[in-house]
Structure 1
């Protein structure tokens, strides 16, 4: 049983990721925290609560976190991709959760859950890394309670919000650098290079919609998102980035990884938010090379898609 905390900014692909975690018998989802990102914090928080209600999970504690980056203002949201409400204009069609937010913020909730856990916990940040950077900076004692971070973010060959930067890292590069470069916590980075290769097609979505009311609801939420990906992919289908990261958290090794150091560009030029990985051998990098993390670089793509569909359909 994998104990998970998901830090999220729902978002369509975040919604698929949350449902996957809720539907997986291998997962003990002990908490959900929210962060600004695809839409503002008020909407990401509302969406997280409603997705948990869709899954019948009144028991999972939810806390809201950062509403802005650590240093510089957030330039824009992703309404053109996810819809202005984050769920293709369909957020209000999801059920209201009877259990509201816990009476504390995201960092405090994570500290409480980590301190009280009888075993290490996997944290899956699938939005900007602001909450996680704050957690590790203010509460270094919790590092030993974290089994690993499984982070959806970064683009090794380029970005999706700029030519250089992927959205989650670009949204708060300073926080991303703190977590990916400086913190001595076991980390698996799932960049958009591999998540994009795991894109699902119309047949996959049709099978999900036919699986039952929850699957049909998920597919109904994807209108704006699918229009975006029809333009970018050139065919019917979509990329569910965040669900791929949750899949790796549930089944370690589903994605093939390579250990390497990464750097995050925090300057204010056109490369801001770029994630730069160094795949050279350690002997080439030298003794002063920075710490290494596991970066997902490959997978059996059909196996990933099958795992996602099986999990989402229960």
Structure 2
């Protein structure tokens, strides 16, 4: 499968990227970088560092949007991931450089080279995808599909807007454009993530493996794992990794429900909420396939593969 991954690395994004690069059937055509978990420069540098850590060449990294389409500027997640997004471990900058061209245009170009073959995976705010859809209205029809890590389908959010999930709430206008103009989304939402964690103690035992991926992830996730313990969370549940499981193993999605979905843009307490028309009262067509359950054993196997361990 040909993947284009739009991402804001971030510790959770890093694990998802390791999963994609470790999978024998995944052909990662490129990475589009968006600001979100931390600022755009740090996210770009983190993508390059990850390629260094696993010795992966030939994957272009395209810089995209650093800010949401409209103010206000959203809060980032540096308190979880570290101010640099990779645990503030003081790692050296990569000698690699980003590829020329904006991430939105690079996505368009990838679908022109491979029409009907590119599966878009969005792991961060949707600004780059919204820009691409605005530049090229034919983009949606050329994509093989879209898997989105984002949303909170019954309003159990994780941001200052209470009912809203981070990736969507960071740029709600972009998310509304994508759900309105993009292909039907396969949505892996925050609430699903919270139901599919791996025991933190067990995950940390996996990180003791003497492999490049495990050593790298052990270092960059130290602060995030400490955050889990501080908040008495006994299961490690990196959101983007669960989305990547759905991408890499279609059978892992045990249950889906198709519904119309829109994004709230003006609520003082609910800006960025993914509002699902569960009873189809609006008459709008279904535009989202909501993943409701994932096979945890298949998820665990892909996590272990990403770290260089036997499934």
Aligned residues: 305
Secondary structure at the aligned position of 1:165 is classed as coil
Following the alignment from structure 1 to structure 2, what is the Cα–Cα distance between the partners of residues 175 and 231? 33
Residue number among 103, 106, 114 corresponding to 2:111 in the alignment: 114
Name the SS for the 1:245 alignment partner: helix
Q: Any idea what the Cα deviations from partners look like across 1:80-134, whole Å, max 9, x if unmatched?
A: 11100001102615x7253x21111101111111111165110101000000011
Provide the residue aligned with 1:152 in structure 2: 149
1:4 counterpart SS class? strand
Match in the other structure for 1:104: 101
- Per-residue CA deviation, residues 246-289 of structure 1 (Å, 9 max, x unaligned), is 12111223122111111211115011111122222x5xx36x32
- Separation of aligned partners in 2, 1:26 and 1:156: 30
Aligned to 1:262: 261
Q: TM-score, normalised by structure 1?
A: 0.91
Structure 1 consecutive aligned stretches of length 4 or more whose deviation exceeds 4 Å: none
Residues 89 and 220, structure 2, Cα contact 8 Å, conserved in 1:
yes
Match of residue 134 from structure 1? 131
Match of 1:299 in 2: 294
Root-mean-square deviation (CA), in Å? 1.8
Q: Which stretch shifts more, 143-152 or 271-280?
A: 271-280
For 1:312 and 1:177, locate their aligned partners in 2 and report how far apart those are by CA, in whole Å.
Answer: 35
Measure, in 1, the Cα distance between the counterparts of 2:47 and 2:273. 28
CA–CA distance in structure 2, aligned partners of residues 76 and 19 of structure 1 = 26
Q: For residue 148 of structure 1, give the secondary structure of its aligned residue in structure 2.
A: strand
Q: Which residue of 2 aligns with 1:73?
A: 72
Q: Which residue of 1 aligns with 2:12?
A: 13
- Measure, in 2, the Cα distance between the counterparts of 1:91 and 1:276: 40
Report the TM-score when normalising by structure 2: 0.92
- The equivalences for 1:269-308 within 5 A come to 269-280=268-279, 282=280, 285=281, 288-308=283-303
Residues in 2 aligned to 1:82 and 1:291: alpha-carbon distance in whole angstroms:
34
1:282-301 alpha-carbon deviations (Å, 9 max, x no partner): 5xx36x32433101111222
In structure 2, distance between residues paired with 1:124 and 1:110:
11
Q: Are the aligned partners of 2:172 and 2:264 in contact in 1 as well (CA < 8 Å)?
A: yes
Q: Structure 1 residues 152 and 101, CA, compared in 2 at 3 Å: closer, same or farther?
A: same
Q: Note if contact 2:213-2:306 (Cα within 8 Å) is conserved in structure 1.
A: no
In 2, are the aligned partners of 1:14 and 1:243 still within 8 Å (CA)? yes
Distance, in Å, in 2 between the alignment partners of 1:44 and 1:173 is 20
2: distance between equivalents of 1:63 and 1:194? Answer: 30
Which residue in 1 is equivalent to 2:51?
Answer: 52
Report what 2:308 is aligned to: 313
Is the partner of 2:169 in helix, strand or coil?
helix
Distance 1:144 1:312 in 2: 35
Structure 2: which 5+ residue stretches go unaligned? Answer: none
Measure, in 1, the Cα distance between the counterparts of 2:215 and 2:52. 15
Deviation of 1:172 after TM superposition, in Å, equals: 0.4
Map Cα deviations across residues 113-172 of structure 1 (whole Å, 9 max, x no partner).
111116511010100000001111211122222111100001123111132111101100
1:194 touches 1:296 (CA, 8 Å); kept in 2? yes
How many Å separate the matches in 1 of 2:71 and 2:251?
A: 36
